[in-house]
Structure 1
Amino acid sequence: MRALIQRVSEASVQVDGQIVGQTGRGLLILVCAMQGDTEAKAETLANKISKLRIFQDDAGKMNLSLAAIEGSALVVSQFTLAADTSRGNRPGFSTAAAPADGDRLYQHFAAHLASLGIPTETGRFGADMKVSLINDGPVTIWIDTEAT
């Protein structure tokens, strides 16, 4: 699985003009399931993200995790993280999981993150979503379970 995480002061996602998910201080997590991904990979990714020490401590160093700051997460499905730009100018997405698998793994990832004690809200899989955020830092980190 792949994720792009952004440390945020706040973030929200709208579908058809209605807010369907939001977070205050914490993380906006864009998630993409890849072909061959499993529930175990979704859990590995959630565990890793929940423990990343990317929030500032009292000395101003990135030393605290999402749990340590009692932050929350907004998880948004983002199949375009599977983009292959190696040929031509039009990205290919054939390495992304099939929609049914992608939805299942996205939901599993969000549920596992919540089970770790992180208040978690989500977007709507497959919907045309409008995401708003205030990136804090900015801090933006790419994680791929194939590389960890």
Structure 2
Amino acid sequence: MTAPTTPTRPRHTFLKAGQDLYKAALELSNSGGLPGPTDHLAGLAAECVAKAMLIDFFGSVQDSPNAKPYSPVIEGMPGMNKYKASHGHMPGAWDHLMLVANGRRGAEVRKHIPRQNPFKTRSDAWHESHRYLDGDKLPAQRVARHLAAALSLITAYNHAK
């Protein structure tokens, strides 16, 4: 008789999810309508790719398949705890990425993404609750900037691996 083993945790799928969300946002944008859902998908795409980089390159962990990933590095910083170190939605996931992106991969990531968080700027602030807004009132330039930011994260991931 053999001892029971712990099942292997499935690998996270943040990168694939981010790429798929970006493709969906781009298709929606290219169809000429629905700026609200396009912007929302762009933000979710960026969030997923940022989380993929945090886990794959910068030491963040995801303790179970459905748990929020978090950074032990951020958790260990003064005034932080596991809750504050968990990677939630944009713009926080971008801020966490910029906080821990270091070394060769960090330099590669920083080379490909805007220095300023495009999901946090006053004119472009993104929040997950914006899915409830009248998306027709979102400026096309904002949606384009968020699509570009999501693509910059995908590009950065590909260059950093």
TM-score (norm: length of structure 2): 0.24
Q: Point out the structure with max Rg over C-alpha.
A: 2
TM-score (norm 1): 0.26
Higher relative contact order (CA 8 A, sep 6+): 1
- Tell me which protein shows more helix as a share of its residues: 2
Normalized per residue, which structure has more strand? 1
